[in-house]
Amino acid sequence: MRVVLKLGSCGVYMHTLSDYDLILPQIPSEEEWHRAIAHTIESLEGLSKDAATVRIRGLSLLREVNEAKATPERVGWLNLWAKAFAALESANHAFEYQSELVLQMISRCTFEWFLHVQCLFDPTINLYSIGKLSDKVVTLERSLQHELRETVVDRLRAYTAWCLWSDKVYYKEIIHPKTLEGAWDPGPAREILADENRLEMHERFLGPLNIETDEMKLNESKKEMETIYDKKIKLIDKLLSDQYLKNWKDKIEKVSEQYKKEKRGNPSFFSLFSSKDISIPKRLQKYGLRFGYSTYLSGSMTLHGATMEQFMMIGTSAIGPKVKTNESDIERYFANIVSECNHIFVLLSAINHFALKK
């Protein structure tokens, strides 16, 4: 998705989210669509065919988006769509080149994004049960449907606010004085240049030392970097001032302050709605999917490097690095990604018909 951005006279983005035009990727015509489906059926097989089918299903969802202007809830929906679609495209290439590591990283991402989409539906389960048990089913179901729609829409807005707020945290870290000081400090490069032995070692192992040491040029680049990311932060502040996002922004900041006191990281999306089931194992238990935590944990261990099992072969009397990928693991990770992206697209379709479609 692209949005049209305009600069104000002072060089700062002046729009709230609802001021943006919504521009979607080009969607194939009906004829192109049928040709793509026919090609998928005829030329592909196995997991590659499954992935292509899910890709077509994902693209077809964009046909149902007919708004001309952005809304906080639609941007949240498209954000999740874009993540799933990008993951599927990347996984296709990784599967083609038999890259187990890349597939495992993507699988770790899609697993959590699926839980994000599932979280949008959390309140509907209990409310729907209440409606079925009520004596005034017809009357209550109508009010429930409205309440459920509003709940889902509001959680989509929360997702938009949470993602924007997280971007802001990242941008603020980029222009933190300590980050800038380290990134634009000419001292280390000068020390290497002044020492022939160190310079020779650097060039032998890392190549030529192509690092700017002129302080005036470095300061100019540093100020330019600060200006760029300061504008990004101001834009996010403006977007979060939207009447439908401000309450969520306040909630996120409140939870964030509590996390800081407890010396924890940044708030998860789940923490905005409950303090009880915010961990991945608890959320999986809630959906009857606790058995899937091992897959999530394996991906997390690889990301953090906290694993021996996945990169070393340990036998009865010998140990060494793994250099050959496991074909069955490659297929398993790819199958997981295709399945999770399919689930995301199905849930996004349900959300679109139930809560967003006019």
| Highest mean pLDDT, choosing among 188-202, 266-280, 333-347 | 333-347
pLDDT in tens, 127-158: 555 444 444 444 446 666 777 889 999 999 99
| Residue pair 162/272 in contact by the 8 Å Cβ criterion | yes
**Residue range(s) defining the domain that contains residue 202:** 2-356
Point out the least confidently predicted range of 93-97, 113-117, 162-166, 264-268.
Answer: 264-268
Q: How high is the pLDDT of residue 284?
A: 79
| Residue pair 152/350 in contact by the 8 Å Cβ criterion | no
Q: How high is the pLDDT of residue 141?
A: 60
Average pLDDT over residues 258-283: 84
pLDDT in tens, 42-66: 787 889 889 988 998 899 899 889 8
Q: How high is the pLDDT of residue 2?
A: 39
pLDDT at 90 over 70: yes
Please give the radius of gyration of the chain, using alpha carbons only, rounded to the nearest integer: 25
Q: Does the CA dihedral 12-18-19-24 come out positive or negative? A: positive
Using CA atoms, how far residue 154 sits from 160, 247, 270, in Å, is 10, 10, 14
- The pair of three-digit structure tokens given for residue 305, joined into one six-digit string: 């490097």
Q: How high is the pLDDT of residue 311?
A: 87
pLDDT in tens, 223-241: 898 999 999 999 999 999 9
| Highest mean pLDDT, choosing among 76-80, 190-194, 352-356 | 76-80
Q: How high is the pLDDT of residue 7?
A: 35
Residues with Cβ within 8 Å of residue 255, at least 6 apart in sequence: 267, 271, 272
Q: How high is the pLDDT of residue 358?
A: 60
Question: With bands split at pLDDT 50, 70 and 90, how would you rate the model's confidence at 85?
Answer: very high
Q: How high is the pLDDT of residue 113?
A: 95
| Residue pair 72/17 in contact by the 8 Å Cβ criterion | yes
What dihedral angle (degrees, nearest 10) is formed by the CA atoms of 89, 94, 100, 101?
Answer: -80
Q: How high is the pLDDT of residue 131?
A: 46
pLDDT at 297 over 90: no
pTM for the model stands at: 0.85
Residues with Cβ within 8 Å of residue 262, at least 6 apart in sequence: none
Burial (CB count <10 Å: 0-12, 13-18, 19+), residue 46 = exposed
| Residue pair 313/319 in contact by the 8 Å Cβ criterion | yes
Rounded Cα–Cα distance for residues 303 and 104 (Å)? 9
Average pLDDT over residues 63-70: 90
Q: How high is the pLDDT of residue 219?
A: 82
- Better-scored residue on pLDDT, 26 or 266: 266
- The pair of three-digit structure tokens given for residue 34, joined into one six-digit string: 């049928």
Q: How high is the pLDDT of residue 157?
A: 97
Rounded Cα–Cα distance for residues 279 and 216 (Å)? 48
Task: Count structural domains, the chain.
Answer: 1
Q: How high is the pLDDT of residue 73?
A: 96
* Closest to 140 measured CA to CA, from 131, 153, 148, 149: 131
Average pLDDT over residues 260-283: 83
Query: Which H, E and C letters describe the chain, residue by residue?
Result: CEECCCECCCCCECCCHHHCEEECCCCCCHHHHHHHHHHHHHHCCHHHHHHHHHHHHHHHHHHHCCCCECCHHHHHHHHHHHHHHHHHHHHHHHHHCCCHHHHHHHHHHHHHHHHHHHHHHHHHHHHHHHHHHCCCHHHHHHHHHHHHHHHHHHHHHHHHHHHHHHHHHHHHHHCCHHHHHHHCCCHHHHHHHCCHHHHHHHHHHHCCCCCCCCHHHHHHHHHHHHHHHHHHHHHHHHHHCCCCCHHHHHHHHHHHHHHHHCCCCCCCCHHHCCCCCCCHHHHHHHCCCHHHHHHHHHHHHHHHCCCCCCCEEECCCCEEECCCCCHHHHHHHHHHHHHHHHHHHHHHHHHHHHHHCC
Using CA atoms, how far residue 247 sits from 152, 193, 272, in Å, is 16, 53, 11
